Structure 1
Amino acid sequence: MKIRAKGFTLIELVVVIIVLGILAVIAIPKFINLSQDAHDATAKTAFSSFKTGVSLYHSCWLASGNSGYVKDLSCYGEGDIDSSATGYPLGTDTATSENGTKLHGSYCKQVWQGLLDEEFTLAMHTTDGAQDPFVKGNDILYWYSGGNISDPDTYCYYNYIADDHQKGSENWQLKYFPGTGETSVGKGALSFPQP
């Protein structure tokens, strides 16, 4: 009795490879879009939580009967966030804020960490002689523009770069104005660190 070995023919293997190739061409773009959708949702959720935190902080400041700069507002969170002169969160160590009227870059990180419990890796968007901030592992780049909170062009900005670390790419961006409590979310590009 002769036993015949069974296996795939060359034609069958080629057909299977072609079918797998077609499936990969169809599935990979859908997977990439799902990945981007997840990043978009993460950024929008974090920025929405930040906006809610700003609102709650200001409500606490108003309900406490405060006016002007308050150090360590006790009714919000752990009671360690200082207010701007207008009652919005400014930072946790604002001794150099001239009674809540000046914004510094370090305050932006302090506000983010004071309002949100989410685990994001924040990196400063500056040229301080250290490393390039546009590297994998950094989720959000932050810094500020302006100085006096009464100036309408003074704000903290936070760019979500976890989805694309290339300089010049458009990422979700949150701008926070500590003078008015306004937040705006949109797409923005950061191409090089600010001086």
Structure 2
Amino acid sequence: MLKSNLNTKGFTLIELVIVIVILGILAVTAAPRFIDLSGDADDAVTHSMMGDFKSGLTLLHTKYQIRQTSPISINGQSVTFNSEGWPTGSTSNSAGCAEVWNQIFSDPQPVNVMNDFNSPLAKGWNTVYYADASAEVCAYLKSSAAGNLSGYTDPYFVYFIGDTNYATYGYTGSPGDVKMYNL
């Protein structure tokens, strides 16, 4: 015969409710510290903008291939191209990179023009131009706060205006290439 143990005890309903409430409080307060999705969202924005930039760049290049002249007036904007047919901006500096940004996007987000790598980053989009005998590039960076470029670790993309083999930053590309860095 089976014996029944009448002294078996379990948790009361109140004890279970208290444990669930405590776990809920811990989840609400501790989970955001362990699950920070804002960085992933910022990375996704940079990837998306790079894709849009590439598409716009290809459209401008196609218009140059059809017309074979520079500059070309497109939607009331004068777009300057290099000898390979890639947009360069009217000046060879960071302001020219900002021009390319504004020509590519129909409703561009504001972009801060950095004069050089020592210029401060503004919150939002920033651009900086670099050229020497081995490189000619425009870099586009999205910063979540004002700061400086030294130690920048977020993803950013680079538009290669000319043939580039700049080993210091690992920039290698041909005119028209757009590549992501700091993935």
Q: TM-score, with normalisation over the residues of structure 2?
A: 0.68
Q: Quote how far apart the aligned CAs of 1:142 are.
A: 1.0
% identical equivalent positions: 19
The whole-number CA distance in structure 1 between the counterparts of 2:85 and 2:181 is 25
> Which has the larger Rg?
2
Q: Quote how far apart the aligned CAs of 1:152 are.
A: 4.7
Give 1:42's aligned residue: 45
Give 1:158's aligned residue: 140
1:10-89 aligned at under 5 Å gives the runs 16=21, 19-30=24-35, 32-33=36-37, 35-64=38-67, 66=68, 70-71=70-71, 73-74=72-73, 76-89=74-87
| Secondary structure, counterpart of 1:43 in structure 2 | helix
Does residue 122 of structure 1 match 2:111? Answer: yes
Deviations 1:136-165 (A, max 9, x none): xx2122111115xxx551111111213x55
Give 2:176's aligned residue: 181
Larger deviation: 117-126 or 41-50? 117-126
**Partner amino acid for 1:134?**
L
The whole-number CA distance in structure 2 between the counterparts of 1:145 and 1:47 is 18
The whole-number CA distance in structure 1 between the counterparts of 2:112 and 2:87 is 20
Does residue 134 of structure 1 match 2:106? Answer: no
The CA RMSD over aligned residues, in Å, is 3.1
Q: Could you tell me whether the CA contact under 8 Å between 2:102 and 2:108 is conserved in 1?
A: no
Q: Give the length in aligned residue pairs.
A: 153
**Partner amino acid for 1:38?**
A
Give 1:108's aligned residue: 97
The whole-number CA distance in structure 1 between the counterparts of 2:177 and 2:142 is 19
Q: Could you tell me whether the CA contact under 8 Å between 1:123 and 1:133 is conserved in 2?
A: no
Q: Which runs of 5+ in 2 are unaligned?
A: 1-16, 163-174
| Secondary structure, counterpart of 1:86 in structure 2 | coil
Q: Which runs of 5+ in 1 are unaligned?
A: 1-11, 98-102, 189-195
**Partner amino acid for 1:90?**
T
The whole-number CA distance in structure 1 between the counterparts of 2:152 and 2:93 is 26
